[in-house]
Structure 1
Amino acid sequence: MDQAAKTMIENLHKKTGKSLDEWISIVKKENFAKHGEILKYLKTNHDFTHGFANLVALKTLKSDAGSVNETDELITKQYKGKEHFLPLFEKLKKEISAFGKDVEFAPKNSYVSVRRKKQFALLVPATKTRYEVGINLKGQEPKGILELDTKSSGMVSHRVMIINPEEQYSKELINWLKKAYEAAG
């Protein structure tokens, strides 16, 4: 578990007087199946901030990278039926890793968060026919392959859609990712 998650868990107990395990038990009694249901319940009934509600929801559903035995399990799940995008993911991961030793890849259920001190990109096998690279470049005007993101609820500011990796994987994409990496330092 990374230090940020540990700190958040400690702060959850300080703020609410209950441990993460106690909150997980409370939520499990409600029999919620969806992340959004848990968020709404904790925010509405217990005045949680989004961050704390998200933490409890992820841990309750075991849908974060820290709750699975192997992060490879999450990658396998993400690319099931979309295996043709795996080489693109591997290529992006290799290129992004070369930016610096502080790059961290954090797989989630449906995407991989790419962080430095903060998240600067998302790698998303969105559908069987579309791959999306979310890029955090607040204030950057969209140009070239870079378009404004309207789908990720503020997790990133821009995105690049890839339908055909052989034709659309480009130096321009890597340059935008490098710029986002540098801004996240």
Structure 2
Amino acid sequence: MSDPFTHLAEKTGRTMPEWIVVVEGSGLGKHAEIVAWLKTEHGLTHGFANGIALAFRNRGESAADADLVSAQYSGAKAQLRPIYDALVVAATAFGDDVDVVPKKTGVSLRRSKQFAVVEAASAKRVQLGIQLPGEPTTGRLLAGNAMCSHRVSIAIVDEIDDELLGWLRSAYERA
């Protein structure tokens, strides 16, 4: 899979590090605000604006954390990285209080407590564990385990839809 920002400088006139400096100067901190600002003030496409905002928000990520995530999405699982990235973008857009905590086999999404876990379950799917005690299961929202009450399998980015984001937001709000 190729890096989606290979042509960033060619298409926008700035490299990712240059865009990070621009965003730092804006004083904005929330993902959605940064995306909207980049689109309106700089005429960027949603894809570039979203990627720059994610890179800006993750700029303080430690090398060890980045290595843990890279290891999870390497080899046959590399094609799943856009799903992970989209889930993190969605979750961090809920509020500045979301912590993204990489571990060896998954990434915990936390507020005051863990509300979700993202895992590259196989080479074909990402499993999102969601903490929604008391919610009924459906054909898509399945029973979870001790770490998370429910789980959802995601094979392509397009499966991160309003229904899934609603469950994720509800778990965030309960945390």
Q: TM-score range by the shorter chain?
A: 0.5 to 0.7
Q: Aligned partners of 1:177 and 1:144: how far apart in 2? A: 17
Indicate the residue corresponding to 1:104 in structure 2: 99
> What SS does the corresponding residue of 1:101 show, helix, strand or coil?
coil
> What SS does the corresponding residue of 2:74 show, helix, strand or coil?
coil
Bigger radius of gyration among the two: 1
| Aligned-pair identity (%) | 39
User: How far does residue 69 in structure 1 lie from its aligned partner after superposition?
Assistant: 4.9
Indicate the residue corresponding to 1:74 in structure 2: 68
Superposed structure 1 runs of 4+ greater than 6 Å apart: none
> What SS does the corresponding residue of 2:101 show, helix, strand or coil?
strand
1:29-58 CA-partner distances (Å, limit 9, x unpaired): xxxxxxxxxxxxxxxxxxxxxxxxxxxxxx
> What SS does the corresponding residue of 2:148 show, helix, strand or coil?
coil
Correspondence 1:175 to 2:166: yes
Work out which structure has the larger RCO, using CA pairs closer than 8 Å and 6 or more positions apart in sequence.
2
Aligned pair count reads 113
Q: Aligned partners of 1:137 and 1:169: how far apart in 2? A: 17
User: How far does residue 170 in structure 1 lie from its aligned partner after superposition?
Assistant: 1.1
- TM normalised by structure 2 equals 0.61
> What SS does the corresponding residue of 2:118 show, helix, strand or coil?
strand
User: How far does residue 144 in structure 1 lie from its aligned partner after superposition?
Assistant: 5.2
User: Structure 2: which 5+ runs fail to align?
Assistant: 1-61
- Assess if the C-alpha contact under 8 Å between 2:80 and 2:124 holds in 1: no
Indicate the residue corresponding to 2:134 in structure 1: 139
1:117-160 CA-partner distances (Å, limit 9, x unpaired): 0000001111101210000011111125211114xxx1100000
Indicate the residue corresponding to 1:34 in structure 2: none
Indicate the residue corresponding to 1:163 in structure 2: 155
Inter-CA distance 86–74: structure 2 relative to 1 (3 Å threshold): same
1:12-91 aligned within 5 A: 69-81=63-75, 82-91=77-86
User: Structure 1: which 5+ runs fail to align?
Assistant: 1-67
- TM normalised by structure 1 equals 0.58
